[in-house]
Every structure is written in C-alpha cells, then in structure tokens.
Amino acid sequence: MAASVCRAGSSVGKALLRARSPALLNPQRNGSAVPYTRAVQNIPETQISSLANGLRVASEESGQATCTVGVWIGTGSRYENDKNNGAGYFLEHLAFKGTKKRPQAALEQEVESLGAHLNAYTTREQTAIYIKAQSQDLPKAVEILADVVQNCSLEDSQIEKERHVILREMQEIDSNLQEVVFDYLHATAYQGTALGRTVVGPSENARRLNRADLVDYVSSHFKAPRMVLAAAGGVNHKELCDLAQRHFSGLSYEYEKDAVPLLPPCRFTGSEIRARNDDLPLAHLAIAVEGPGWNSSDNIPLLLANAIVGSYHVTYGGGKNLSSRVASVAAEHKLCQSFQPFHIRYSDTGLFGLHFVTDRHNIEDMLHIAQGEWMRLCTGVTDSEVAQAKNALKTALLAQLDGTTPVCEDIGRQVLTLGQRISLEELNARIDAVSAKKVSEICSKYLYDKCPAVAGVGPIEQIPDYNRIRSAMYWLRF
C-alpha cells in the first residue's frame, strides 16, 4: 500500500465559530471566543497516501455522521479531439447505467437502500464521480465507486438511450445564456485549441459516438496515476487506504505502446465573438484576459482584485451605498441586472474577467465602467479596499467549504492539480501577506494594455467595436 503519508490542510467544518451572545451585552465574553486564526489552525489535517499503482488516496476526518467519497480523474474535454469531443460527457451519463457486476436496476436499488446520493460531473480538465453516504457505509460506498469506475458496462442499448437524453440536454443548455456566453468566450479566447471546445461536444458527435469510441476513451485516460480517491467527513484514513488497496489496486498504470496522452498547450487569443438575437430581452456579455494557471502565486492577488470589484444583482439592497464602486454606479444608474467577476483556472492558463447581464442600451456604459475599474486596480488600489477584500475572500473560502461534499471536491481537485492540498491556515497567511501595492502590480501584469477576449449573446448591436474595447485597456498619460 502507500509508502508514505503527508499532511496538508483541510475542511472548515469545525472552523465555523459557535454562536455567542452579542458582545455588546457581555463584553467580558469576547476573550472566550476562538480567534479566527486559531480556529483555522484547529481544522483537521488532510492526509495523503499513494498506492503502488500510483493512485493517490486523500482524506480529511472531521468526525461527522456522514461522509463524501469520490474519484477525481485527470481527464476532460481538453484531452479530446474534434472526432471524440463529448466522449467524457457521454461517459458521465453512462456511469450509473449499470456495471458488469450490477445491472442498472440493482445499482440504483443498492444506492437507494443506503440512503446515499451518487453524482458525477465533467469539466474541461477533470472528471469526478462521488457518493455521499452515512459514515458507517464507507466500505460499501468505496466498493460501489470502484465498480462504477472500472466496470461500467457501456451497453449499446444504454448508449442509444442516453444519446437522446444528451441531445435534449444540449437544447436546454442552449437556452441557458450564461453557459452559452462562457462557451463562446472559451471558443474565441482559445480558438484553434482544445480549450476552445465545449464539454458536451457538438451535436454531430453526440449522434455518432459509439461503444468503441467510449471504450477507447476509458482505456486511454482512466489510469491510476491520474486518479485521486478523496473523502471527507466521518472517515478514517487508514481504513480508506485499505479499501483503496482492496478495490483499486487492479487499476492499470500502463499505456499501450507507452502512448501517454499529453496535455495540449492552449494559446490565448485576444478576440471577440458575437451571437446577436434581438428577440431576447437582455444581453449577456463576458470580457476576460488571460490569467494564470492553478499553481501560480498570482492567484491570491487576483482573487482579492475580484473581491474589490465585487458583484451585484438587481435584488440587492444598498443601492448607491454599496462598497463596490462598480456595483454602486450600476445600482444608482440602473445599468445592469447583475454582474459577477470570475477567475477560471486550468493547468497552465486561465480566464480572468467579468460577466454581466443588461439591456441593449447600457452595454457600452457597463463596459466603460468595468474596464475603468480594471485600470484603477492597476494604479489606485487603497489599503482599506484590500483589507476589506481580504475579509470578504476569507469568508467566501469558509462558505465554499461548508459540508463534506464541497470539502471532498476541494481535496480531490487540489491533489489532482497540485499534488497536495494547501491548508486553510497557509492560504490565510498568503492572503494576509498581500499588500495594496502587490494587488496593483499583479493587476498591471495581467490587465494593463492586454488584448481581451469578448463574447456577447442577445441584443448586442450596441457592443462597441473591438478596437474601442481594446483601447480601454490602458490609460494614456501626457
């Protein structure tokens, strides 16, 4: 089994402070509250081990009555080509349609008898299959996962049935304009590369992919060194390693003819794509520059920059008194329905930008305000803004890790991409170390005088010419 065990950070279940009486009513009780930094230090550790075949086993034991355990695999649409684009998404649909050991009905009945929840998702670089169950059912959950990952039946009848399901889902996705605009953004930003393809693939592939294509995809990518068995909640790491050895030790780590699939490089291109539809009431628009990959030290300053930009929805209270400058102006002048900054990261690249929803008459004003705020981040960030952004970012990190499933996902994703899990204590130290000067320096590196990628969907006839958008990425000085 595993030769060594290393320890990293972990969840935030015990980091949430217990409710106290208001401090103003009893000032003496302030001293009894656990300081934030000490609470973070007391979070359980994440233990990581490796099997002989290269499978990594990572877990965090928080003593809860439930647990989430899953397999994270380093494959997705970025590893596909024009011919088999959508194969990973197709396999996700077939994951729970029966195995060689369990027909679909038996598999569903067994999961339901445990009161468990089985789920899966596919992204451009990762595939995940996980199950949430009672902690006492961890052995059965791991055995079911191993069966699903290694022995999916891929019956022709199920493939044909899911083919129609996927085609219907594609129609539903086309009606979700937020998903559409981000697919367009990837298509133009990474045009001609693997990241420009969608996860679901084109409808032509959904109609054409067959069992041989799916079996080839599994045999090419479902290898032990590219997998992480992650668990969080009421789990014991030694027990999890023993279960992994029992059920996953047979996973292959060899490739036919040593043809190891390499992650193809993806070039960012400043460009635009517009899908005009004047019948739609609102326009969705996303603008982004190339950001860093997962392992870059620039990510923390950029996350703080996004916290300074803030987010907004028309239902928010506060109006022009909102702390975010962009939100304040948008609310006061009714410039948009909502906006949200984003920071999408991949192994070696990323997209750092802003998505907003507005009517056709306010597109140019929203772009002007958003790009103006970006330029201000490059030159005029204040210490008070950064201090407030740090608190907001820390709160968001805690909120994102509330529950065994998001903690398990965080473990699987980080161990798969970074080879370790950065502890919340270390992450907070990195946040605290960032100054206003550092935020401006990193924003200048990625934003100032850079060519953005722009994607718009809906009534977008008033989007400015791309050259005008590009010219707003710098300030002229005389």
- Phi first, then psi: give them for residue 57, nearest 5 degrees: -120, 120
Q: Which residue has the tokens 């965090």?
A: 60
- Phi first, then psi: give them for residue 360, nearest 5 degrees: -65, -25
Q: Which of 110, 114, 106, 111 is nearest to 136 (CA)?
A: 114
CA distances from 183 to 189, 196, 296 (A): 10, 8, 24
b vs e for 90-109, b when ≥16 Cβ sit within 10 Å of the residue's Cβ? bbbbbbbbbbeebeeeebee
Distance (Å, whole) CA 82 – CA 182 = 19
CA 96 to chain centre: 23
- DSSP secondary-structure letter at 15? G
Q: Cα dihedral sign for 158, 164, 169, 174?
A: positive
Distance (Å, whole) CA 43 – CA 397 = 14
> Can you read off the two tokens belonging to residue 175?
């009606």
Q: Which residue has the tokens 């916290």?
A: 307
Q: Please pick, among 92, 272, 373, 425, the residue that the annotation labels catalytic.
A: 92
The CA-based diameter of the chain, rounded to the nearest angstrom, is: 74
Q: Is 163 left (phi over 0), alpha (psi -120 to 50) or beta?
A: alpha
Distance (Å, whole) CA 435 – CA 415 = 28
For residue 12, the tally of other CB atoms under 10 A from its CB is: 23
For residue 467, the tally of other CB atoms under 10 A from its CB is: 7
CB 167 within 8 A of CB 203: yes
Q: Which of 58, 144, 37 is nearest to 98 (CA)?
A: 144
Q: Is 204 a catalytic residue?
A: no
Distance (Å, whole) CA 361 – CA 350 = 30
Catalytic residue set: 92
